[in-house]
Chain A
Amino acid sequence: MSNTDKKEQASTHKIGIYLWIWGLLFVLSFFSYMVDWYQFQGMLRWSLILFFMFLKAGLIMAFFMHLFWERYALVNVLLWPMTAIACFIFLMVAEFKYTLFTRLFYFFVGG
């Protein structure tokens, strides 16, 4: 049993995959910095920021944190709760719009 354990642990991933992901993270970070450097505005800015952010987060989780190679039992336990966060964001967007409306209406328009 301990013999097979040792064999199992020796089979790691090739170094190339880590170096590739590392390089990609640098390039993506550079691109997201360029979004600010060139002062893109509006929808282009938000979509580029979100695109690079999710790509970086996905690469870190999938390869650096090994989720790509884990069994689905673990992956699903970790990723499904994120839908709760998405719901919370959705609710709070509605909430901040309402708060902003009431502030503008009562403080500036005068009710």
Chain B
Amino acid sequence: MSEPKIEGIELKPGFKGMAEDTGSDQTMFKGVHWGKAMMWIFLLSDTFIFSCFLIAYMKGRGSTPVEWPNPSEVFALDAFGVPVPLLLIAIMTFVLITSSGTMALAVKYGYEKNRKMCGWLVLATAIGGLTFVGMQAFEWSKLIHEGVRPWENPFGAAQFGSFFFMITGFHGTHVSIGVIFLFIYAYKVFAGHYDQQKRGWFTSMKGDYVEIEILGLYWHFVDLVWVFIFAFFYLW
């Protein structure tokens, strides 16, 4: 994870180290598992996809002369008869951050080869993600009942619906895929696949707790994207 040691090579810190790593005529990311490097590259490309969606939303919202629907009214939820602005979205944010925290601890316990603790934390993360997807499904059905469609809505500018369904839908798909993988990996941790170095079904590489860190990177990224969606779509 941090400060890798490789026999026969002195690894320098900072930008000098970066220049030497890059020009070392060898693997560039010293001490980084190839799966982890590939996950980072994938997340970088995913960042560009989400950025394109959010920039398109900015352009659409900025260029319409029609009033944009007020998100704190559209996404308000009645609690005991009183409309509370963004209540469901706030709960969703807290659920996702909670699951991000349990995932970070799962990675830590995985590297300490604490099988039980790691497994329970991955399972807790999966359940948090499932809760999030459930609440998002509730939010979607509520808005669809209120007449929000990708081409029209009763609150204001017609573009609102298409951006809402596209951006939250794409994020929700990411969460759903993450939940499926979290359940699979929770099983794999409990079954001891990483302690026995059992070869996986996706690649034939030997099982190792680094896979939990790779999965963790994906899950934290999903949380990271939600931070931006929360700020730009719901609060702005």
Residues of chain A touching chain B, judged by Cβ–Cβ distance below 8 Å, are: 1, 4, 8-13, 15, 18-19, 21-22, 25-26, 29, 32-33, 35-37, 39, 45-46, 49-50, 52-53, 56-57, 60-61, 63-66, 69-74, 76-78, 81-82, 85, 88-89, 92-93, 95-97, 99-100, 103-104, 107-108
Q: How far is the CA of A12 from the CA of B111 in the complex (A)?
A: 7
Q: Are B224 and A73 in contact (CB under 8 A)?
A: no
Q: Which of B52-66 contact A (CB under 8 A)?
A: 52, 55, 58-60, 62-65
Partner of A26 from the list B72, B97, B104, B230 (CB cut-off 8 Å) is: B97
Tell me which residues from 183 to 236 in chain B have a Cβ below 8 Å from any Cβ of chain A. 209, 213, 216-217, 220-221, 223-224, 227-228, 230-231, 234-236
Inter-chain pairs besides A36-B86, A56-B227, A65-B220, 11 sampled, C-beta below 8 Å:
A9-B209, A15-B105, A18-B104, A22-B100, A26-B97, A29-B94, A33-B86, A71-B13, A73-B28, A88-B51, A96-B60
Asked whether, in the complex, the Cβ of B65 is within 8 Å of the Cβ of A104, the reply is yes
Pick the contact of B97: A29, A53, A65, A103 (CB < 8 A).
Answer: A29
Least CB distance from B52 to A in Å reads 8
- Do residues A49 and B58 form an inter-chain contact, with CB atoms below 8 A? no
Q: How many A-B residue pairs have CB under 8 A?
A: 170
**B contact face: mostly helix, strand, loop, or mixed:** helix
| A95-B55 Cα distance, complex, nearest whole Å | 11
Q: Report how far A92 CA is from B62 CA in the complex, Å.
A: 10
Are B40 and A78 closer than 8 Å at their CB atoms?
yes
B51 A85 Cβ-Cβ under 8 A: yes
